[in-house]
Chain A
Amino acid sequence: SQQGEEDPQALSIQEGENATMNCSYKTSINNLQWYRQNSGRGLVHLILIRSNEREKHSGRLRVTLDTSKKSSSLLITASRAADTASYFCAGSGGSNYKLTFGKGTLLTVNP
């Protein structure tokens, strides 16, 4: 079953604007992780938020987690052209902490 479902599927903004991506999941999780994927490359881990946390910051990134609504959001502030990439959420569940990925949001930041 799909653990993460991102919204929107694609987002186009101007440099300097903020970008918000949302993720919903279906089953209980140990943590939720966000990754970035540049075209033709592997995934790069951005931030991990545990199920008992509600908000986490890392540089220009802010992640929230609402376990009652089974949803998370990723906010990128003051976006740059270099932030152009696909962003995936992944839920980690069960005793083995396997990840289940959503379809991703394609973010385009225009200079």
Chain B
Amino acid sequence: EADIYQTPRYLVIGTGKKITLECSQTMGHDKMYWYQQDPGMELHLIHYSYGVNSTEKGDLSSESTVSRIRTEHFPLTLESARPSHTSQYLCASSDPRGNQPQHFGDGTRLSIL
């Protein structure tokens, strides 16, 4: 399995709280991604990065923000959590060359009460 880690695995928290989901990889990959996945559904890309200081919004609009200060670290932040943010968030990374697979973490299952 790939060396990409997400914390926490599960988070149940009240409305209005600030949340940061952590994602780290030890493969030295330049490309990193955040996906949102509801149960039994497809993954939607919400953010991606091609390297340090590079961040882009994905195909699905999200109120979350990301930062990429170090190659190995790509945290996602929600400034004020709402019940509509309840979902699973998956982080992935890949080699920058074309035609390369993505390596996924085990995800953070987020529940906002």
What residues of chain A have their CB less than 8 Å away from a CB belonging to chain B?
2, 4, 30-31, 33, 35, 40-45, 48, 50, 86, 88, 90, 92, 96-104, 106
Report 12 cross-chain contacts, Cβ distance below 8 Å, ordered by A residue.
A2-B42, A40-B109, A41-B107, A42-B106, A88-B43, A92-B99, A98-B59, A100-B45, A101-B44, A102-B42, A103-B41, A106-B40
Measured in the bound complex, the distance between the Cα atoms of B59 and A99 in whole Å is 10
Q: How many A-B residue pairs have C-beta atoms within 8 angstroms? Tell me.
A: 62
Beyond A98-B48, A101-B43, is A45–B99 a contact (Cβ under 8 Å)? no
For window 43-66 of chain B, which residues contact chain A by CB distance below 8 Å? Answer: 43-45, 48, 50, 58-59
The residues of A that contact B58 with a CB separation of less than 8 Å are 98
Bound form: Cα–Cα A43–B107 in Å: 9
Q: Mostly helix, strand, loop or mixed at chain A's interface?
A: strand
Bound complex: CA A2 to CA B104 (Å): 20
Chain B interface residues toward A at CB < 8 A = 1, 6, 35, 40-45, 48, 50, 58-59, 90, 92, 98-107, 109
Contact between B103 and A41 (Cβ–Cβ < 8 Å)? Answer: no
Question: Are B105 and A45 in touch, CB under 8 angstroms?
Answer: no
User: Is there contact, CB below 8 Å, between A43 and B41?
Assistant: no
By a CB distance below 8 angstroms, the chain A residues around B50 are: 96
